[in-house]
Amino acid sequence: MFGQSIAEYRGEQNTRWHIIERFGRDTTEHKEAGAEVLRKRIAARAALLRVQLLMEDAELLRLAHDAMTATIDMNESEDESDRAKRSGRSLDAANAFITVAGQRGQVR
């Protein structure tokens, strides 16, 4: 559940970035993309909360938090190169969580 939610949030962050590049910030397209990013962020935060409530594994909790933080940080992208790096960090952090959770039988 968390892995899927964070992947969807990261995808919307990337989509929003490309909409800004194509249409600009003060557009209907940007506002709609921003609203979708917010919906995905809320879903990812809810999934993170479930992880925090259901898991006692400190490393998994840290990895989930790292994935969420890396995805939120995508908002700070200054250009395409920076967006790509931040998106990569988000993906790497999510994959780290998923890998360790899978190894421990804790995929959620």
Which residues have C-beta within 8 Å of that of residue 86, sequence separation ≥ 6? Answer: 70, 73, 74, 76, 77
Domains and CATH numbers, the chain: 2-103 (1.20.120)
pLDDT band (50, 70, 90) for residue 107: low
> Model confidence at 23, in pLDDT bands (50, 70, 90)?
very high
- What tens digit of pLDDT does each residue of 61-86 get? 999 999 999 999 999 999 999 999 99
Among 12, 24, 1, 7, smallest CA distance to 68 is for: 7
Model confidence over 46-66: pLDDT tens digits?
A: 999 999 999 999 999 999 999
The set of residues, in sequence order, having a beta carbon less than 8 Å from that of 14 and lying 6+ positions away, is 74, 83, 87
pLDDT of 108 above 60 = no
d(CA 58, CA 32): 37
pLDDT at 95 over 70: yes
- 84 token code pair: 């790509």
